[in-house]
A = this chain, B = another copy of it.
Amino acid sequence: MSLLLITNVRHDGRTHDILIENDRIARIGPRLKVRGARRLDGDGMTVLPSLFNAHTHAAMTLLRGYADDMFLHEWLETKIWPLEARLTEEDVYVGARLACLEMIRCGVTFFNDMYWHWRGTARAAEEMGVRALVAPVIIDLGDVARAKAAKQEILNLLENCGGFSRRLRFAFGPHAIYTVSGDTLRWLSETARNNGVKIHLHLSETDREVQDCVNAHQGLRPVEYLDSLGVLGPELIAAHGVHLNAREIEILARRGVAVAHMPESNMKLSVGGILPYTELRLAGVPVLLGTDGACSNNSLDLFQSLKFAALAAKHDSNDPTCLPAAEAWTMATRRAATVFGVDAGVVEVGRLADLILVDTRRPEFTPGFNLMSDLVYAANGYCVDTTLCDGRVLMHRRRVSGEQAILAAARRTARRLAGGGEAAPA
Contacts and interface: CB of A to CB of B under 8 A. Distances in A.
Interface of A: 10, 13, 61-66, 68-72, 75, 98, 101-102, 105, 264, 266-270, 272, 274, 294, 297-301, 304, 307-308, 310-312, 314-315, 317-322, 324-325, 361, 363-364, 366-370, 373-374, 377-382, 403, 406-407, 410-411, 413-415, 418, 423-426
A381 B105 CA distance: 15
Contact of A368 (B13, B317, B411): B411
B68 A411 contact: no
Contacts of A70: 320-321
A345 B322 CA distance: 38
A363 B266 contact: no
Given A71-B320, A299-B377, A425 B267 contact: no
A377 B425 contact: no
B411 A65 contact: no
A267 B321 contact: no
Nearest to A264: B311
Nearest to A318: B270
A310 B68 CA distance: 11
Nearest to A266: B315
A44 to B, nearest CB: 11
Given A311-B264, A377-B299, A411 B367 contact: yes
A381 B299 CA distance: 13
B369 A424 contact: yes
A23 to B, nearest CB: 26
A145 B361 CA distance: 44
Given A312-B267, A368-B411, A102 B320 contact: no
A297 to B, nearest CB: 7
B319 A270 contact: yes
